[in-house]
Amino acid sequence: LFRSRHMELYMIPLFLLLLFAYNFTVLSSGKTGSQDNLESMDIGDDDDEDDKESEKRSIMEKIHMIQDVVITVQNILDAIASFGERIKNTFNWTTPFLSLLACTVLAAATVLLYLIPLRYIVLIWGINKFTKKLRNPHAIDNNELLDFLSRVPSDVQKVQYAEWKPYSSAGPLRKKRNTL
């Protein structure tokens, strides 16, 4: 006999919560085998522009247009990569308070999805969505998930804002003399 397994909606935040728990236990046990070396990351900009006077202005204009398009594409890809890094850093407990907040929200969502049927949740969400302008006409729309992720640092921001390790100019002999 085959046993039918089906997926309930409450299992999605429960799975994410289990992923948080797994990463927390790995982090607390000290097993960080696949951690990226972020200290060697280069965050400098290389802008080499040649100022040449040439009679081919139209070619130079085309090159500048292509450069603008490449810069725009690079900025978009940087934003997408930063978004992915922020999600990864949320699950890796880089910012413990924000990761704990996400765990709390996922646990509450799991309990709510388990106890309350989906049709009631959709009904409450729809009433909230369509009466929001009636209740507060001057409210500014925002996305709480993007607001949350904007507070989590990306890998580049972790390198930029990392605390510097104190440099000890005293050698091992001086340290021994100072303790004696």
Q: Alpha-carbon distance 64 to 170, whole Å?
A: 54
pLDDT in tens, 97-146: 999 999 999 999 999 999 999 999 999 999 999 998 898 888 888 889 99
Helix (H) or strand (E) holding 66: helix 57-91
| CA distances (Å), origin 176, targets 167, 168, 169, 173 | 17, 14, 14, 5
pLDDT tens-place values along the chain, 180 residues long = 455 567 788 888 988 999 989 998 888 887 655 445 555 555 554 444 444 454 466 788 888 889 999 999 999 999 999 999 999 999 999 999 999 999 999 999 999 999 999 999 999 999 999 998 898 888 888 889 999 999 999 999 999 988 887 776 655 555 555 555
State pTM to two decimals: 0.65
Helix (H) or strand (E) holding 100: helix 96-115
